[in-house]
Amino acid sequence: MSNLDKYLWLDQMPHFACSGCGHGIALAAMIRAIDKLGLGQNETVMVCAIGCAGRLPVYLDFPSIRTPHGRALTVATGIKLANPKLQVIVFMGDGDAAAIGGNHLIHTARRNIDLTAIVAINEIYGMTGGQYAPTTEKGKFASTAPFGMIEPQMDICKLTQGAGASFVARGDVYHVMELDNLVSKAISHKGFSVVEILTTCPIQFGRRNKDSKPSDMIKNLKGKTVTKKQAEQLSKEDLADKLVRGILVEEDRPEYIEEYDRLTNLKEEGDLN
């Protein structure tokens, strides 16, 4: 494996993540995918917002920007439109992407603009004290759900598929080799690509939910997900508490910037009034 140190600000170490946090595994998968694809470090822009997930890309040596809560995709859209040659990757937490940023997620998917969104699902607002997120499983405990979450869990893969994302995948921080592949396929895809990464927060989620030790939380992801092939063999009842991982949507659909360019070229040629 190649040396990935060149992608890190080593002088900023040690990083701030808690012991056992799964976010680093998700981030590492992203760096390995970038390395595998040979993307130029100056042509790859990293966009993130807030939370632990939004804070971690600060350790990466790419042109990058941190945006207000929920607005990473909005800023990423502006960057991509200003310079379509840039590869723009957005790394977000689940609270950030699905709650305050939910509207932006829907419309970025609908436009099918050529960005990659990586969403780290730890089922909680990790940084701010363990409030529940739209992705918190029903019945689980959070600082704002001391008697258990009563709302149904949001499925970001289904949401973005319904909104029009042309590439949707789910991976987890247990199946790391698969994850590298999913992220690199997402980045290579032309159009809006989303990778939901199931990760772990032993401190804000695990302790409240009496989960086992951090390493077991990661191992538990193994039983929580099934491949598409395995899903086909399962009954509806057995599938009910499982999440399907792998590439869930991969379509060739008109991409926003190409449509925009077509329109502006028509205008220049005088075919539009």
Residues in the chain: 273
**209 interacts with Mg ion by CB under 5 A:** no
Is 173 among the residues that bind ligand TPP (CB under 6 A)?
no
Interaction of residue 30 with ligand TPP, rule CB under 6 A: no
One of 32, 73, 89, 93 touching ligand TPP (CB under 6 A): 93
Chain residues 62-81 in contact with ligand TPP, contact rule CB under 6 A:
68-69
* Nearer residue to ligand TPP within complex by CB, 35 or 94: 94
Using an 8 Å Cβ cutoff, are 55 and 72 in contact? no
Residues 57, 95, 164, 202: which binds ligand TPP (CB under 6 A)? Answer: 95
Q: Which of 102, 105, 122, 161 is nearest to 26 (CA)?
A: 122
127 binds, among Mg ion, ligand TPP, none (CB under 5 to 8 A by kind): ligand TPP
Cα-based distances in Å from 13 to 35, 103, 182, 239: 21, 35, 28, 42
Q: Is 22 in the site for ligand TPP (CB under 6 A)?
A: no
- The first and second tokens of residue 26, run together, are 């998700």
Under the criterion CB under 6 A, does residue 225 sit at the interface with ligand TPP? Answer: no
Please tell me whether residue 124 binds ligand TPP under the rule CB under 6 A.
yes
Given the complex with Mg ion, which of 58 and 79 has the nearer CB atom? 58
Residue from 122, 181, 199, 200 binding Mg ion (CB under 5 A): 122
Please select the residue that binds ligand TPP; options are 74, 91, 94, 218, rule is CB under 6 A.
Answer: 94
Contact with ligand TPP (CB under 6 A) among 57, 126, 206, 246 = 126
Closer residue to Mg ion, CB minimum distance, 95 or 214: 95
Report yes or no: 233 and 183 within 8 Å, Cβ to Cβ.
Answer: no
Which value, in Å, is the radius of gyration of the alpha carbons in the chain? 19
Q: What is the b/e burial string over 97-116, where b = at least 16 CB atoms within 10 angstroms of the residue's CB?
A: bbbebbebbbebbebbbbbb
Whose CA is closest to 17, among 227, 190, 200, 154? Answer: 200
The stretch among 70-78, 119-127, 236-244, 248-256 that binds Mg ion (CB under 5 A) is 119-127
**In this structure, are strands 167-172 and 243-250 parallel, antiparallel, or unpaired?**
antiparallel
Please check whether residue 122 is in contact with residue 201, taking contact to mean a CB–CB distance below 8 angstroms. Answer: yes
* Tokens 């538990």 -> residue: 220
Indicate which single residue of 113, 127, 165, 194 sits in contact with ligand TPP (rule: CB under 6 A): 127
Options 96, 114, 172, 178; binder of ligand TPP; rule CB under 6 A: 96
Q: Is the CB of 67 or the CB of 87 nearer to ligand TPP?
A: 67
Strand order in the sheet with 44-48: 64-66, 44-48, 87-93, 116-121, 193-198, 167-172, 243-250, 225-227
- Residue type at 68? P
Q: Is 90 in the site for ligand TPP (CB under 6 A)?
A: no
Q: How many residues bind ligand TPP (CB under 6 A)?
A: 18
* Residues near ligand TPP (CB under 6 A): 50-53, 68-69, 93-96, 120, 122, 124-128, 133
* Residues near Mg ion (CB under 5 A): 93-95, 122, 126
